[in-house]
Amino acid sequence: MTAERPNDASSNAAAEIGPFAEAVWTTPFGLPPFDRIRTEHFLPAFERALTAHEAEIDAIARATQPPGFDNTVGALERAGLDLDRVAGVFFNLSGSHTNPDLQAVERAITPRLARHGSAIYLNADLWARISAVDADAEALGPEERRVLDRYRTRFRRSGADLAPEAKARMAEIAGRMAELGTQFSQNLLADEGAFALPLNGEEDLAGLPHFLRSAAAAAAQERGGAHSHVITLSRSLIEPFLVFSSRRDLRERAYQAWSKRGESGGDTDNRAIIAEIVALRAERARLLGFDSFAHFKLADTMAATPDNAMDLLRNVWTPAHHQAAAERERLQALVQAEGHNFALARHDWRHYAEKLRRAEHNLDEGEIKPYLPLDGVIEAAFDTASRLFGLRFAELAEVPRYHPDVRVWAVSNADGSEVGTFIGDYFARASKRSGAWMSAFRSQERLNGPITPIIVNVMNFAKAPQGEATLLSFDDARTLFHEFGHALHGLLSDVTYPLLSGTAVAGDFVELPSQLYEHWLEQPEVLRKHARHHRTGEPMPEDLLKRLLAARTFNQGFATIEYTSSAIVDMTLHLSSAGEEGLDVLAFEADALKRIAMPVEISMRHRSPHFAHIFSGDSYAAGYYSYLWSEVLDADAFDAFREAGDIFDPDVAARLRKFVYGAGNLRDPGEAYIGFRGRLPSIDPLLRQRGLAA
């Protein structure tokens, strides 16, 4: 056997990591070459990128020249670009189009990445250099001061000031938390994939409209065709089934499976994982000197303290509770009017609420959906962005994509200058986790570029059979607008430093751009233009449009209770130290709900064993309240357009782009909001928006 020559070794190493060996991807707009990326490329690509980043960090920490902004903070911002690229592709695929081999890589690499991150933030030499940077002596500008402040905050919150033993424990916790979050997500995906409710014959399909029958038939084909129709645990199937099915027994079976994800008692049970996560979070908070994980988490948010967040939740809970009680009485009366003697249950609420909506507003979901084809709603979202911000969208045909259903658009300004690339991945499939989200394959920045962003929206709409249009409910359409608001936050980012880019903002500010964008969907001007019948192209009849908008606050007691109870349980769980004593999460959840007098006919929107927002990672842990906090902002913010007399007022839109959508984390969120609105927000518009005002 002959020894390999150096060029042979280099060639083999490059082959091992495939396209990740290339310094620049020559694909259109620098899109990842999905057609050439293989699962086996990821682990060696991660290892190579991690080794390179470790060397870069070591060079910064051990530099002999006096610490300055550029040779320390700037150098950190220029380091790890290969690692960012590999991780950007990998974690997007692991959420949107995974497989067992990719999941095995995820289990292996997430604790490794967590340890790598801990090693950076606990590096004493590096922290000493960052601490020594003198912003005044260097006459740093506002953006440089902001990025320096954010680095110092991150290092302190990661344990940079702790004693060596505590630092070691912080690193252990980070690694274990990464393992647990990954396992939680994979367990949930497995539970969702394992359930299918077969519907065989007209009796099982009773009450289901054509669009839902078509979606259930498509789901059955995707699962092998053993049954003519199936209902899966995809929200786009399960929720309309609970609305329309007149088979109470089947609604109960479907609802039980949906509500008990993550607590099967088998290998995919998440309860022990939750107990360990809660205990580790509490321990980490104590090491950093905080009373609880909730106190730690909120110290770096607009809310600042758990008390402030809980005050908002309580202020909304009380009127919502009264309204939900009134809604329940009307639904129970409807049950009895049909000649039934059962008490309204959780699997009944949506079904009878739809009947009540028809009775009170002469409105039915099946009447609305033909006017909301997916393509039409996408066009509405794009047109709104064009009218607000002057953006243009050109769909790209011959570009790499990771699944045949994925669509790609080039995004430009009105003058033709490039803004970024937008990817839309709209349909549910077994390889995709549930929910809807925005992410980035590449984030905007100028330090290493200019770099334009590649932003993706991922949904889970039920795909129509071949040759038919996919029709959305109004809630589906709102979800699309919501996630596209996040996408615009990433696309319009206009910052120099990667750390400040796009959605890298406080957790209770990040939902402002997304929730604010939802408002345009509900405007008659937008609906008259874009809500058109999928076959005839005729606009939604004016009478239907008026009935749709008149029903906006219908059932909002239920919707508010469903959400707010989840936020309260999240906050209560992370204010406690229950995990240290072997947390029984179901008992804790039940006790927390009992103390707020949770209506028995309504369940949390996300029960703890499947609450991926707070247990798949830390992003929304002790932070699920942020949707409501941001709703205070978005309701008040949209009033700025109403006050201007034009929902596309160019001056208000320009301020919105400057201080919200384009600003990343250039400013404290309170300062950013004042820059846009001229003042801090009031809660009154939120209460009006939800129909809860007095």
Q: Which residues are catalytic?
A: 483
Backbone torsions φ then ψ of 422, nearest 5 degrees = -115, 130
Residue carrying the six token digits 């039915």: 364
Neighbours of 414 (CB within 10 A): 10
What span, in angstroms and rounded, lies between the C-alpha atoms of 16 and 19?
9
| Of 383, 466, 380, 392, nearest in space to 427 by CA | 466
Cα dihedral value 390, 394, 400, 403, nearest 10: 90
Sign of CA dihedral 569, 571, 575, 580: positive
What span, in angstroms and rounded, lies between the C-alpha atoms of 345 and 606?
17
Element (H, E) at 427: strand 418-427
CB 92 within 8 A of CB 441: yes
What span, in angstroms and rounded, lies between the C-alpha atoms of 662 and 257?
42
What span, in angstroms and rounded, lies between the C-alpha atoms of 317 and 311?
10
What span, in angstroms and rounded, lies between the C-alpha atoms of 613 and 456?
18
| Of 274, 345, 188, nearest in space to 587 by CA | 274
| Of 322, 302, 385, 304, nearest in space to 632 by CA | 302
What span, in angstroms and rounded, lies between the C-alpha atoms of 620 and 159?
20
CA distances from 386 to 114, 502, 532 (A): 40, 19, 19
